[in-house]
Amino acid sequence: MADMLAGFDELINSAISECDIDSQSIPLLNVEKERIEANLLEKLPEDYCYKFNLSVINEQKSSFQTEDITTENVHPWLIEFQTINSITLKVKTKKKPTTGYLIQTYYRCQHNTRRWSPNKDPQRKLQTNPAARVKNTNCPFQLIIKINTNGICFVDIEWAHNHNTVNLEASNFKNISSCTIEKVRKLYEDGNTPSMARQIFLKNLKKSCNDEITYHVMKADRSVTPRRRDFNYLYSQYTKDEFGGKNGEMFQRLEEKMEEYQQNNPDASLKYQVYCGDEMPLIISVVTPLMKRVHKEVPQCGELVFVDATSNTDEHNLKVFLLCTHNVSGALPCGLVITSDEKESTVKQAFQMLSDCLPEYAFNGRGPTTGPEVILTDNCLEERNALKSVWPTATLLLCIFHVLQQVWRWIVEKDHLVNQHDRPEVFSLFKKALYATTEESFDDCYEDLLSDDACSKYPNLLQYYRNLYVIKKDFALCFRSSMRVRGNQTNNFVEAQFLVLKDILLRRVKEYNVVGLFDKLTADLENHFKDKLLSIADGSFDGYFRRRFLGKNKRKVDGGQGFKIPTQQEQKTYLEKVITYEHNVFEVPSLSEEDK
């Protein structure tokens, strides 16, 4: 019994000593909590009054309440909290409002992207490839925000990040800031591609940094500098918003764009057919206000019109047909057509819609149904048949460059079995016939061609030349002497405009879809012609042919705007030397002193 009492006394004494130790440690615990509370305040946004729950406060977990965080400013507080702690939070769970709470939202760290499972453990990837970039670390960080009906906000935070939050690699995974997105979209609005936009963005970023270290840090931060694939994604989002994507939304956006264009340009004429399968192809025919002025004011529009088509201008490989005429200022547009294919039925319908868009004074008063006197094209049968059906009274001529190119390609084709040493001879004989000045000379040259020994060895070549002889009036120059082509034997004028479109306007990059292409053709191409004409009118044109408009002589001496008017005696002398041809065509001798 005495032993039991002695043991009981020892137990009581031990308990009393432990209570004394705890009472002495209370001031130490209070100091530690004050230190932790001070550290927490550094991690929280300022200008807010926080009341911490001292029963739940340590280095890994904290809880507080405040009346300064409301339903209106909870989002700005959250953004500032992420900026201070260099983290990015995602919504984990968002509960519906209840009778007691207006907001109950659970946030997770962005490095916790999926539920943990053994086969998805990110450490397995790091074991096989230590240099791998792994975003998911199953981070246990959690932030809970609850706002009750009394306006009190309760915040619980578990700070247990299992990854570094301050190194450069961690900043690679941040969300792109709204300010950065606006900067990138502005670059796309200026017409830059994703690669060009990224180069310009990095160049501007480097200029804004004081040193290389700052630039390196900001370049690693994804919220400041998007990654390469982010530029591509932002470009796809921008084009989808602007041009409607590449599916059915594209045609809806196209109709809106064309209606907007007609409202902003009431003098323009526009007809279109939206794509609804192969039986109903896409067709857009446009006559802009400038094109109507060309039809009215430029006499050459009624004499000669160049027609050609190009493709590879957008992602859907649409065909763009351009009609233009020649002038002292260069090529001037007369009409524009966009189609989804080059079938004869499609092209015929497109040109008919273009004819319906033309004014009554089209082609310098000849009328929209009569068309010009001469149309110069390449050897595209579908295009020529469509033009002939829409403007049957017009004379269709072939571009001699394309004819010679076509003949040479036929000759060098290995399946045609023309020997290499015979190719130059049989080609030069055809070229001689093409450039013949009279019909008699053409027939003689063509007869020499067919009877030549080198040509006679190849029956297939003879048959090919005989087939070309049937359309001799389309390509031989001797049959054009009475036509008002004014020395234009090729369609270089319209070919040059496609260079303007692809090199200058499209910057050698395909347009996103037909909506963007329509905007480039009706706005940017129109402005290109306007700027050229205005620069010629005000004397600021500095192109290669500047001397045409500013009176430069052969010595390249600029005599100022205007030309030297010959004296009465000079006029009389040169008028005697002028040779007159049909259709108001004249051969005038040179007025320069060098050619006397």
Asked if the model's pLDDT at residue 266 lies above 60, the reply is yes
> Can you tell me the distance from the alpha carbon of 305 to that of 462, in angstroms, rounded to the nearest whole number?
33
Average pLDDT on 554-570 reads 63
How confident is the model at residue 23, as a pLDDT? 46
Per-residue pLDDT of 60-91, as tens digits, reads 788 899 999 998 999 999 989 988 888 889 99
Per-residue pLDDT of 326-375, as tens digits, reads 998 889 999 999 999 999 999 999 999 999 999 999 999 999 999 999 99
Residue 151's SS3 state is coil
Is the model's pTM score more than 0.85?
Answer: no
> Can you tell me the distance from the alpha carbon of 88 to that of 161, in angstroms, rounded to the nearest whole number?
12
Lowest mean pLDDT of 128-142, 162-176, 319-333, name the range: 128-142
Of all residues in the chain, what percent carry a pLDDT higher than 70? 87
How confident is the model at residue 3, as a pLDDT? 56
How confident is the model at residue 124, as a pLDDT? 65
Q: What is the rounded average pLDDT for all residues in the chain?
A: 86
> Can you tell me the distance from the alpha carbon of 569 to that of 563, in angstroms, rounded to the nearest whole number?
17
Lowest mean pLDDT of 434-448, 451-465, 505-519, 532-546, name the range: 532-546
> Can you tell me the distance from the alpha carbon of 301 to that of 284, in angstroms, rounded to the nearest whole number?
22
Residue 381's SS3 state is helix
DSSP string, 229-256: HHHHHHHHHHHHHHH-TTSHHHHHHHHH
Place of tokens 């063509």: 446
Asked if the model's pLDDT at residue 26 lies above 50, the reply is no
How confident is the model at residue 14, as a pLDDT? 64
How confident is the model at residue 24, as a pLDDT? 44
Q: What domains does the chain contain, in order, with CATH numbers?
A: 32-167 (2.20.25.80), 178-243 (no CATH), 255-371+381-388 (no CATH), 402-480 (no CATH), 504-549+564-580 (no CATH)
382, two tokens:
């579908």
In degrees rounded to 5, what are phi and psi of residue 166?
Answer: -120, -5
DSSP string, 157-217: EE---SS-SSSHHHHTTSPPPHHHHHHHHHHHHTT--HHHHHHHHHHHHHHH-SSHHHHHH
Confidence of residue 119 (pLDDT cuts 50, 70, 90): low
Confidence of residue 21 (pLDDT cuts 50, 70, 90): very low
How confident is the model at residue 40, as a pLDDT? 84
Place of tokens 């090919």: 464
Lowest mean pLDDT of 55-59, 289-293, 378-382, 525-529, name the range: 55-59
Confidence of residue 442 (pLDDT cuts 50, 70, 90): very high
Average pLDDT on 487-516 reads 92
How confident is the model at residue 572, as a pLDDT? 83
Confidence of residue 132 (pLDDT cuts 50, 70, 90): low
* Other CB atoms within 10 Å distance of the CB of residue 106: 15
Asked if the model's pLDDT at residue 146 lies above 60, the reply is yes
Inter-residue contact 209 to 219 (CB < 8 Å): no
451 or 573, greater pLDDT: 451
CA end-to-end distance (rounded Å), the chain: 150
User: Which residues pair with residue 336 across a beta bridge?
Assistant: 286, 322
- Amino acid sitting at position 438: T
Per-residue pLDDT of 452-489, as tens digits, reads 999 999 999 999 999 999 999 999 999 998 898 988 99
- Amino acid sitting at position 596: K
